[in-house]
Amino acid sequence: MGAISITKALNPAYRKFKPVYNDIDKFKVALLNCLEAIEISDKQNESEEHIKEPIKLFLKSTFYQDNLINTKGRIDLAIYLGDTAKTDIGVIIEAKRPSNKAEFISKDNLNKKALQELLLYYLRERIDQKNNNIKHLIITNGLEWFFFKAEDFYSLFYKNSSLVKEYIAFRDGLKDTSRNELFYDEIASKYIKEIQDKLPFVHLELNKEELNSLNETKTTEIYKLFSNVHLLGHSFGNDSNKLNESFYKELLHIIGLEEVKESSKKVIIRKSEKDRDYASLLENTIFTLEDKDYLHRVKGFSGVEDKSFAIGLEICINWINRILFLKLLESQLVSYNNSEDYRFLNFTFLDGYDALNDLFFSALAKPLPERHVKYKDKFKNIPYLNSSLFEHSELEKQAFDISALKDEEMEIFSLTVLKDASGNRLKGKLSTLKYIFLFLDAYDFSADANTDFENRQENKTLINASVLGLIFEKINGYKDGSFYTPGYITMFMCKEAIRKAVVDKFKQEYNGTIETFEDVKDYCSQYFKKADLVKFNQTINSLKICDPAVGSGHFLVSALNEVIAIKSELNILCNEEGNRIPCEISIEQDELYIAYNEGELFEYQRHDVNSLTIQKTLFHEKQSVIENCLFGVDINPNSVNICRLRLWIELLKNAYYTSTGELQTLPNIDINIKCGNSLISRFSLEDSLKAAFKNKEVIYSIEDYKMAVNNYKKTNSKTKKIEIQNIIDTIKSNFKTTLNNKTKEDIERVSNKYETERQRLINLELFGEKIKKVEKDNLKKLKIRADKANLRKEEILNNVIYQDSFEWRFEFPEVLDDEGNYIGFDVVIGNPPYIQLQKMGKASDVLQQLSYLTFARTGDIYSLFYELGNNILKNKGVLIFITSNKWMRAAYGESLRKYLIDYTNPLILIDFGGIQVFDSATVDTNILMFTKEKNRQQTQACIVKGKVLNNLSIYFEQFSHLTDFQSSESWVVLSPIEKQIIEKIEAAGTPLKEWNININYGIKTGFNEAFIISKEKRKELIEKDPKSVEIIRPILRGRDIKRYGYDFADKYLICARLIAEIPINYPAINEHLTAYIGSKQLGDNSTTKVFKRPWWSWMQEPINYWDNFFGQKIIYPNMTKFLPFYLDDKSFMHNDKSFMITGENIAYLTAFLNSSLFKYCFIDNFPELQGGTRELRKVFLDKIPVLQVSKNINLEFEKLVSEVQELKSNQLCTTEIELEIDRRIFELYSLSEEEKDIIGFIEIK
């Protein structure tokens, strides 16, 4: 590989970033000062130490003010990730004097001492310090700089097992000398020689004269090369993973909305009445709806709590979508034509809502020749787009368009981005439309602008399509707090799933030995004829990718980018003549970046033929992928519209001017994104459509259906589009009628069978014959089936269940074969909704009736999406979802875990643990990828233990390991060493059910209000009758129990060994309890219990283990996040929300159960409930294997436990003694130092 250009090394997204002039100027001054100081130092023959200081000063004064820069061991300079030495090193720098030519590397010879030293320091940091956060490595003498990526060191050095083995032997003193020279001369030198032609690097040679004379472009490149964005991977202004809060909040203000936090998520609501501005888009719309009496004309929205708000917001979102889309279009037109004459979103050009409405429907919706003469000149630069975005929506047809709004002024947002002439925030009021235009103008929508620096004090914030997608998702999910999946997640998921599908297709169609994507690349590289390239493109274009909960369309956009990048990587991306285009395409920051082979970024120039060829190719490649490969469904019509918008935006990026001088029109891609409830379908995927085409009244075939859909996508004529839509609707209506009739016939057949058998048995009885038991049982079974059938008939007739159903059976003809049989999708991808089924009310009852195997009443709706996704896949198809990870361990996830084992082949599982993927919600997540085939029980899995925004693929490659999940019990991802530890502990132990111990629950009173009393009531009862003290005992509830202690809540339990003794011997207590007869109590399921029976029948007597309460025992809660165990020798009673353990060696057992080892190895043996609570029922604890010990060892632990509990009771620190307990337990299990370090000290807080 050797030297690469700065342009090639920089992230393409960052290459497009435009720094501010002042920042560039300050950087240049700092670099010049550094060069001067080094030249002086070298002339004075100073040591290397004097070279480090100006380099450190230069770095500190430019990008690294917040980072510690210092030596570490023998490392000359290190840039830390934070401001202290406790953080990891991100950049390792090896510095040499300029005159030290012997040790310094050159472009032609890397195998010098400088690189040999750098390799030693890298291996020490990576292997010994386990630092996987190194980003770059640098060799410099101040005048020459060599930059290496850490990921190249990882792949070429760290992954070389022979080198690592030799390094460890050298480190551990197993060579004949421990001097570093041995490593440099005999180890490093050998391995560098092997790879020096493969190791990429950026070489930069500087001197003051040249630096002063560099042009703006070159200076900007050097600025970016040294930046923390490049060297440390920091984010910058164009980060698609982050919400632009300023833009988002001011946009909400203009619409008339605000964001608030509800429980763990942020949701969008209408502004409170006192804060409403009636000139905002939403309030203006709601006023018009109500004042002009439009509400009654709008269909749907039945059962909606605030109909005016729901309708008004949906209309406003549609208008905002159009305006934002047009802002992107405007930026494209200005860039393509290099002229400000193409700006049209301003108050001079559009001075009111009427004018904006004219733009929507009299210009953008009509081809230039069809526009009215009065608009032809005004809108001459506005292209015809052929997009349904600029057709009246159903709501606009039923209510009104934007021209109906009043042109009024609204208050400017207090934190507005707008500034006055003095640079202060603008205050006061503005016309709402003018405000929108000025607000949008304050941001940079020109994603493809040049990369030189901004000649201003402050540059505009870039708002690209990905950032807009995030905004769309947030506003669209206002009802339930939907959260946007970050770009690094969608990129990873699309890459893994789609490449797997491509490999499978090439293996099936071309060569059975193909196993990996690299194999596909090698295979394609052997072919060069145009016919082969066409064939390979057709194979990839045959991919069918679906998101069944499509939301804003983010996954489909990432899928589109991935398919285009795959074609580029396979070198089969061709123009319309079948010639490869001379470009490399990569994905960065969730955007496609196109660069010429020499690294220069592609930019479309309207009058450049070569540029047009590439732009045209990209447009039609995207069009082909969107039309043929991408499909989506969502229950929310706003989501459907936004998804379509996102895909149109992706096409807009590569729109080009045709030979007639008009912008290429957009295809009708809306038909691939449909509205409906993905989880509910009336018809089975196995239902036959053949009968639909045998009907004499039907004039269309399955071929006609497919052709009609294809023609719809391609037509530019609105009239033709309506005609085709009518054909499609007719065909689908016939499918429904045919399948409905078949369903009804099946129902009637079941009912008739029951009725016939019932009548037959009646007749037999009339003739005096005895009915056999078998016949009676059979009749009962037939009746059950008939009742179910009749219930389904009622549902179909009433359309209750299937109101919003989506018919996967025929809605997408692209996944049907030529006979109409359902084939399925190659890839199903997405982030399905997270909604607890028990909170869905009647909707949950509906889903339960649909026979989902993954349904669990206490579960979550995403479980059903896994099953639905698998159902709609083709055989061997790939599904990849990101969802909550609760299913992996929660009790409700058992049905999903069983389903995955029985019906899928899990390939990838990434558990993000406590790492928050979504900014707007506290949800622990996972990524799961499986194929629809027999389970091979070979899942690559890993747990993410830190932020991995840069490259999840590399992280997964480094830290995943093969795991096999064989049961429906908790799925726990373990590394080889973790698995080794747990297997070792389990092998050494004996299950607690085989110990000489008893586990019992506490007292079940049947009526806590009566039997559990306060300190004051206890005093009162004893004063009435002193004997009462005999049966009033202190009680601990589950919530009172802590690790090695308790919080006594001054609660007491009335409890006798024999309840019947109380009326006889304890009159005061008898009087107290008798008073509760006839009282009411609210039960667990919110139903009221009335206690009418004698009070002594309420409590369950613990006669069998009564004495256990008064001896030494372990008490622990039945449900807990913290796994606390307390050794009680004070004869506490405890309620049925807790358990007790009695028997042999329970002091040792208390220590073990509170130990770090127990938490590390066995926490996942207890099912996880909502909120991270664990269920510690006896059935689970019985299975825990614990090392059995002697009585003497138990006595040792009894002293330690007593000591820690004494300290706890006095609220003193117990960490030291708990560490000692951990150490003793580690020793009992003979753990190695490495195993001890991995477990560490675990305290659940």
Q: pLDDT (tens digit, 9 = 90+) per residue, 907-966?
A: 999 999 878 887 666 788 999 999 999 999 999 999 998 776 667 888 898 889 999 898
Question: Going by C-beta distance under 8 Å and a sequence separation of 6 or more, which residues neighbour residue 1118?
Answer: 1001, 1038, 1136, 1137, 1138, 1139, 1175, 1176, 1177
Report the pLDDT averaged over residues 578-601.
Answer: 87
Residue 99 identity (one-letter amino acid): S
Q: How far apart are CA 901 and CA 175, in angstroms?
A: 50
- Which of the four pLDDT bands, split at 50, 70 and 90, describes residue 839? confident
Amino acid 989: pLDDT: 95
Give the chain's count of helices (H) and strands (E): 45, 38
45 alpha carbon, distance to own chain's centre: 56
d(CA 1160, CA 1168): 15
CA angle 46, 48, 49 (to 5 degrees): 90
pLDDT score, position 452: 47
Q: How far apart are CA 960 and CA 943, in angstroms?
A: 8
Q: How far is CA 467 from CA 242, 330, 346, 389, 1184, in A?
A: 8, 17, 22, 20, 49
Give the model's pLDDT for residue 851. 84
Q: Residues 1158-1185: what's their mean pLDDT?
A: 89
Q: Would you say 1148 and 1175 are in contact if contact means Cβ atoms under 8 Å apart? A: no
User: Residue 727's closest CA among 741, 745, 742, 707?
Assistant: 707
**Whether the Cβ atoms of residue 76 and residue 92 lie closer than 8 Å to each other:** no
Contact 968, 897 (CB under 8 A): yes
832-973 has CATH 3.40.50.150 classification = yes
CA–CA dist 917, 483 (Å, integer): 10
Confidence of residue 483 (pLDDT cuts 50, 70, 90): low
pLDDT(484) > 90: no
User: Which residues lie below 8 Å from residue 917, measured CB to CB, with a gap of 6+?
Assistant: 485, 486, 489, 882, 923, 925
pLDDT band (50, 70, 90) for residue 1: low
In the sheet with 1126-1128, reading across from the earlier edge strand, the strands are 997-1001, 1138-1143, 1113-1117, 1126-1128
- Other C-beta atoms within 10 Å of 762: how many? 10
Q: What is the pLDDT of residue 457?
A: 46
pLDDT above 80: residue 1084 = no
CA nearest to 195, candidates 108, 110, 105: 110
Whether the CB-CB separation of 405 and 284 falls below 8 Å is answered with yes
Q: What is the model's pLDDT at position 883?
A: 94
- Report the side by side order of strands in the sheet with 1051-1054: 1012-1014, 1051-1054, 1032-1036, 1133-1134
- Report how far Cα 920 is from the mean position of its chain's Cα atoms: 12
Report pLDDT for 778.
Answer: 87
Please tell me the predicted confidence (pLDDT) of residue 404. 95
Is the per-residue pLDDT at 1145 higher than 70?
yes
pLDDT tens across 391-416, in order? Answer: 899 999 999 999 999 999 999 999 99
**Tokens 């100073």 -> residue:** 46
Residues 6+ apart with CB under 8 A from 567: 537, 540, 573, 585, 621
**Residues 893-922: b if buried by 16+ CB within 10 A, e if exposed:** bbbbbebbbebbbbbbbbbbeeeebbebbe
d(CA 1097, CA 1103): 14
Q: How far apart are CA 960 and CA 365, in angstroms?
A: 52
Average pLDDT for residues 2-30, to the nearest whole number?
Answer: 86
Q: Report yes or no: 832 and 548 within 8 Å, Cβ to Cβ.
A: yes
- Reading the block at residue 114, the tokens are 């400088």
Single-letter code of the amino acid located at 1027: K
Contact 836, 263 (CB under 8 A): no
pLDDT at 1103 over 90: no
What is the per-residue pLDDT for 301? 79
Q: Which residue has the higher pLDDT, 1088 or 1025?
A: 1025
User: In this structure, what are the phi and psi dihedrals at residue 644, rounded to the nearest 5 degrees?
Assistant: -60, -40
Percent of residues, the chain, with pLDDT higher than 90: 57
Helix or strand (DSSP H, E) at 585:
strand 583-588
Strands (E), 699-842: 825-830
How far is 817 from 809, CA to CA, in rounded Å? 12
pLDDT interval class at 696 (50, 70, 90): low
**Residue type (1 letter), 992:** L
Question: Which conformational region is residue 661 in: left (phi greater than 0), alpha (psi within -120 to 50 degrees), or beta?
Answer: left
pLDDT in tens, 1047-1070: 999 999 998 887 778 888 999 999
- The dihedrals phi and psi of 677, each to the nearest 5 degrees, come to -90, 105
Using CA atoms, how far apart are residues 1186 and 601, in angstroms rounded to an integer?
Answer: 63
Q: How confident is the model at residue 686 (pLDDT cuts 50, 70, 90)?
A: confident
pLDDT above 80: residue 378 = yes
The answer to whether the CB of 760 falls within 8 A of the CB of 766 is: no
Which pLDDT does position 1224 carry in this prediction? 97
Q: Of 667, 796, 695, which Cα lies nearest the Cα of 740?
A: 796
- Token duo for residue 1175: 């269920």
Handedness of CA 292, 297, 303, 304 (dihedral sign): negative
Position 726 confidence tier, pLDDT thresholds 50, 70, 90: confident
Q: Of residues 165 and 178, which shows the higher confidence score?
A: 165
Write out the DSSP string of 846-914.
HHHTTT-TT--TTSBHHHHHHHHHHHHEEEEEEEEEEEESGGGTBGGGHHHHHHHHHH-EEEEEEE-TT
Give the rounded percent of residues in the chain with a pLDDT score beyond 70: 92
- For residue 731, what pLDDT band results from cuts at 50, 70 and 90? confident
Distance in angstroms (rounded) separating the CA atoms of residues 485 and 915? 14
Looking at the predicted structure, is the pLDDT value of residue 771 above 80?
yes
- What residues contact 1165, with CB distance under 8 A and at least 6 apart? 970, 1180, 1183, 1184
Banded pLDDT at 1080 (limits 50, 70, 90): low
Per the structure block, which two tokens stand in for 714?
A: 């391609």
Q: What's the whole-number average pLDDT of the chain?
A: 88
pTM of model > 0.75: yes
What confidence tens digit (pLDDT) does each residue in 443-461 have?
Answer: 888 755 444 444 444 567 7
Residue whose pair of structure tokens reads 């708000």 in the numeric block = 309
For residue 774, give the amino acid letter. Answer: V
Strands ordered across the beta sheet of 925-931: 673-675, 630-634, 545-547, 825-830, 873-884, 925-931, 905-911, 939-943, 961-963
pLDDT in tens, 254-308: 999 998 877 667 778 899 999 999 999 999 999 999 999 898 898 877 767 788 9
Q: Give start-end residues of each CATH 3.40.50.150 domain in the chain.
A: 832-973
Q: Please give the residue that has the higher pLDDT: either 760 or 1231.
A: 1231
User: How many Å apart are CA 121 and CA 78, to the nearest integer?
Assistant: 11
What confidence score (pLDDT) does residue 927 get? 97
Low-confidence winner among 132-136, 367-371, 777-781 (lowest mean pLDDT): 777-781
Name the DSSP letter for residue 205. Answer: E
The mean-pLDDT minimum among 129-133, 340-344, 634-638, 798-802 falls in 798-802
3-state DSSP: the chain helix, strand, coil percent, rounded to 5? 50, 15, 35
Q: Is the pLDDT of residue 790 over 80?
A: no
Q: What is d(CA 173, CA 183) in angstroms, rounded to the nearest whole number?
A: 11
Q: How is residue 11 written in tokens?
A: 């992230």
State yes or no: pLDDT of 479 exceeds 60: no
| Residue 468 confidence (pLDDT) | 79
The single residue listed with the structure tokens 């092998």 is 987
User: What gap in Å lies between CA 762 and CA 770, rounded to an integer?
Assistant: 10
For residues 679-701, average pLDDT: 76
* Predicted local confidence at residue 567, as pLDDT: 97
| First-to-final CA distance of the chain | 51
Strand pairing of 1032-1036 and 1133-1134? parallel
The residues that bridge with 673 in the sheet, in sequence order, are 632
